[in-house]
Structure 1
Amino acid sequence: MTTKKADPGMLIDFYKAIEESSAKMLEAAKLRDWDGVVRYEGACAVLIEQLRYTSQQQELLPEHRKEKARIMQRILRNDAQIRILAEPWMAQFEHMFDGQPQVMH
């Protein structure tokens, strides 16, 4: 039985998929579709975990490092825009709980 090595291009594909999900989160936020934002955020979390696992098995190819940096910058810009769009919603959400006793689990 032979073991198949993971495709070295696969690691960069995780970054691309995370960026795509991040862009979808931003589009959902622009539409004030907060359920959609949460869905895409969950997809990002799964992809990030898969990336963490895969990155323990293989290294990012040197020719993909610049692309990774550009992808990460775009993800960070998307995240910043999402936060700006979500701030009024978050303030409204937090206001709903003003005066409520804090419960810790």
Structure 2
Amino acid sequence: MSLLIDFYKAIEESSAKMLAAAKAEDWDGVMRFEGACAVLIEQLRQRARSEELDAESRAEKTRIMQRILHNDAQIRYLAEPWLANFEQRVGVQNQYLH
């Protein structure tokens, strides 16, 4: 098994934690796990320069990426009402500043 695929698995795990936090409306947690994903993605990029995946690992990578994209879509769906509320509050606050 490839060490490179372990990075994809770690990103998927962090993505799943982001989704769980979003379901719990723990937006600070979502941002924390998003930061962890960003670090892992950068490490993955560095590692990918020197390591290639075999055919089996590429197939696994595809499955992992599909799950990550599914998690991301769910997170975005859950975040939409929160973001709209946030934008509305910021807009109201900006009215008082002018």
TM-score clears 0.5: yes
**How far did 1:72 drift?**
0.3
Deviations 1:21-80 (CA, angstroms, capped at 9, x unpaired): 000000000000001000000000000000000000111122201100000000000000
> Quick one: which of 80, 85, 88 aligns to 1:92?
85
Partner of 2:67: 74
**Over aligned residue pairs, what C-alpha RMSD do you find?**
1.4
Runs (4 or more) in structure 1 with deviation over 4 Å come to: none
Unaligned runs of 5+ in 1: 1-7
> Quick one: which of 18, 24, 28 aligns to 1:25?
18
1:98 aligns to what SS in structure 2? helix
> Quick one: which of 22, 45, 48 aligns to 2:38?
45
**How far did 1:97 drift?**
2.1
With the length of structure 2 as denominator, give the TM-score of the two structures. Answer: 0.91
Partner of 1:61: 54
Which segment drifts farther, 22-31 or 52-61?
52-61
> Quick one: which of 2, 23, 40 aligns to 1:9?
2
Q: What amino acid is aligned across from residue 47 of structure 2 in structure 1?
A: T
Partner of 1:3: none
Distance (Å, rounded) in 2 between the aligned partners of 1:65 and 1:59: 9
2:91 aligns to what SS in structure 1? coil
Aligned residues: 94
